[in-house]
Each structure stands twice: as C-alpha cells, then as structure tokens.
C-alpha cells in the first residue's frame, strides 16, 4: 500500500515544479520544511479518507431525504443552505478544514486554489489514460494537505447531468435562479466532478 502514495507524492511534486514560472528554480520550496514520515503520511491519508467519506455520507443521505420529500428543488435549496455548515462542522471536529472544489463550478465559492487546480488537471489526465485515481497527501508550505477525486455517480445526474435528459426544465431554472453562473451540468457517470481538499491544522 505504500508505493502508490510515494508515487503520487513524487508525481505531484514534479507537477508542482513544472508549474513554477521561474526558470532558475532548482528545488521546490517543500524541501525546506521537514517532510512527513511515511507513517505520518499513511495516518493523514486514512484520516482524510474518513473525513471525506463521513461528509459524503452525511450530505448524500440528507439529499436523498429531501429529494423524497420535496423533489430536486427542495434538495437544491437544502444543499445551498446546508452544504457549507455541514462540511465545515465535520472537518472542524477533526481539526481540519474541508473544501469540495471543481473546475466546473456551481457555487463560485468552491473555486480551487493553484494546488487544487493542478491536482484536478492531473486526475483528468489519469482518468483519460484509464488509470485509477487515488487520494494523495502532500506537504506544501508547512501544511499537510489531502486531496481525493470526486467521481460522478448516477444519483448525481438529476442536478449535474444533461438538461432535459436528466435535469427537468423547471429544476434547471430553479438552479439557475440560485446559481446564475452554474457550470456544473452536462456531466456523465464516471466523470471527475471535482476533488475533496482537506487541510490539517496541527
Ligand atoms: C439535488 C441536487 C443535487 C444532487 C443530486 C447533487 N448535487 Fe452536487 N451540488 C448541488 C448544489 C445545489 C451545489 C452547490 C452547493 C453550494 O452552494 O455549496 C452542488 C455542489 C457540488 C460540488 C461542489 C463544487 C461546485 O460546483 O460548487 C460538488 C463537488 C458536487 N456538487 C458533487 C456532487 C456529486 C458527486 C453528487 C452525487 C453523489 C452530487 N453533487 C449530487 C446540487 C446537487
């Protein structure tokens, strides 16, 4: 189990380096900070996966309940109100901050930072090459960061799929009303919807 993590770490470090604009950089700034031991990395990886899973289960079970009682629109309204407090509280209880970010956004507040943007691009490439997308733990600027893919499932199509085929006209209008610049539609099952991004506060 250790190899993929090391591999991902090297891959991402390489990727970060290749994104640097300065021509004469020889070392990444990560090398200044003491790096995590393999054991610590495993620990953060497990912790990150647990937080992401718990958040996903809480979000999706609440969504399902709202869909049943009031359909897509009630679920969208709920998501708009509750997604942030919910994800925040689960992460906080674990002494971390959590974001769900994407390159095709519904809520502009979920915009990725440079590191997350790079990881999304990397996952997209891996997906195109039929590789398995795995969570990563990396240390950047003294912070321990966890990132993992969010793949689209059939249950997401009602709100992120193809208009008319999966999303009714009135539901789309309702979504557009709350999110006028919504880009988070036309996804297919298995697409990379975004990533979980967790920063540990230690
Ligand atoms: C009932 C409609 C609905 C369903 C079903 C739904 N979503 Fe969303 N999704 C939303 C709304 C609304 C937002 C914006 C939430 C906010 O304001 O923070 C959102 C935001 C997101 C984001 C954050 C990035 C962004 O674009 O703002 C991700 C990632 C995401 N959804 C993934 C999923 C996945 C994966 C599924 C299926 C497991 C899913 N969603 C199912 C309505 C839905």
| Residue owning the nearest CA to atom 41 of ligand 1 | 156
Beta carbon of 111 within 6 Å of any ligand 1 atom: no
Work out which ligand 1 atom sits closest to the CA atom of 151.
35
| Residue owning the nearest CA to atom 21 of ligand 1 | 106
Which of 80, 105, 108, 160 to mutate to test ligand 1, by most ligand atoms within 8 A of the CB atom? 160
For residue 191, what are the contacts with CB-CB under 8 A and spacing of at least 6? Answer: 127, 151, 152
How far apart CA 194 and CA 103 sit, in angstroms, is 7
Q: Where residue 201 falls among pLDDT bands split at 50, 70, 90?
A: confident
Place of tokens 């297919």: 188
Statement: residue 175 has pLDDT above 80: yes
Q: Is 96 exposed, middle or buried, given 0-12, 13-18 or 19+ CB atoms closer than 10 A?
A: buried
Where residue 55 falls (left for φ over 0; alpha for ψ -120 to 50; beta otherwise) is alpha
pLDDT tens digits along 112-132: 999 999 999 999 999 999 999
pLDDT tens digits along 25-75: 334 444 455 688 999 999 999 999 999 999 999 999 999 999 999 999 999
How far apart CA 91 and CA 187 sit, in angstroms, is 27
Q: What's the confidence (pLDDT) of residue 113?
A: 97
Query: What's the gap in Å between 26 CA and the centre of ligand 1?
Result: 40
Backbone angles phi, psi at 179, to 5 degrees: -125, 80
Q: What angle do CA 132, 15, 101 make, to 5 degrees?
A: 65
Count Cβ neighbours within 10 Å for each residue of 21-58 and write b for 16 or more, e otherwise. Answer: eeeeeeeeebeeeeebeeeebeebbebbbebbeebeee
Beta carbon of 167 within 6 Å of any ligand 1 atom: no
Q: What's the confidence (pLDDT) of residue 34?
A: 60
Nearest residue to 194 via CA among 89, 121, 93: 121
Which of 55, 71, 100 to mutate to test ligand 1, by most ligand atoms within 8 A of the CB atom? 100
Query: What's the gap in Å between 199 CA and the centre of ligand 1?
Result: 21
How far apart CA 47 and CA 92 sit, in angstroms, is 13
Work out which ligand 1 atom sits closest to the CA atom of 72.
1
Beta carbon of 102 within 6 Å of any ligand 1 atom: yes
Beta carbon of 161 within 6 Å of any ligand 1 atom: no
Beta carbon of 120 within 6 Å of any ligand 1 atom: no
Q: Where residue 133 falls among pLDDT bands split at 50, 70, 90?
A: very high
pLDDT tens digits along 77-96: 998 888 888 888 899 999 99
């Amino acid at each position: 189990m250790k190899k993929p993590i090391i591999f991902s770490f090297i891959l991402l470090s390489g990727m970060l380096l290749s994104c640097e604009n300065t021509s004469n950089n020889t070392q990444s700034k990560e090398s200044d900070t003491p790096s995590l031991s393999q054991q610590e990395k495993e620990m953060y990886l497990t912790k990150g996966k647990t937080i992401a899973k718990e958040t996903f289960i809480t979000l999706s079970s609440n969504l399902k309940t709202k869909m049943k009682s009031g359909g897509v629109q009630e679920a969208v309204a709920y998501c708009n109100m509750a997604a942030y407090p919910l994800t925040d509280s689960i992460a906080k209880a674990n002494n971390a901050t959590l974001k769900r970010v994407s390159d095709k956004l519904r809520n502009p507040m979920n915009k990725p930072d440079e590191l997350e943007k790079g990881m999304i691009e990397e996952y997209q490439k891996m997906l195109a090459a039929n590789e398995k997308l795995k969570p990563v733990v990396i240390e950047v600027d003294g912070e321990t960061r966890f990132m993992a893919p969010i793949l689209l499932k059939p249950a997401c199509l009602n709100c992120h799929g193809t208009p008319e085929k999966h999303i009714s006209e009135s539901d789309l209008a309702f979504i557009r009303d709350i999110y006028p610049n919504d880009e988070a539609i036309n996804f297919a099952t298995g697409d990379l919807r975004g990533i979980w991004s967790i920063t540990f506060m230690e």
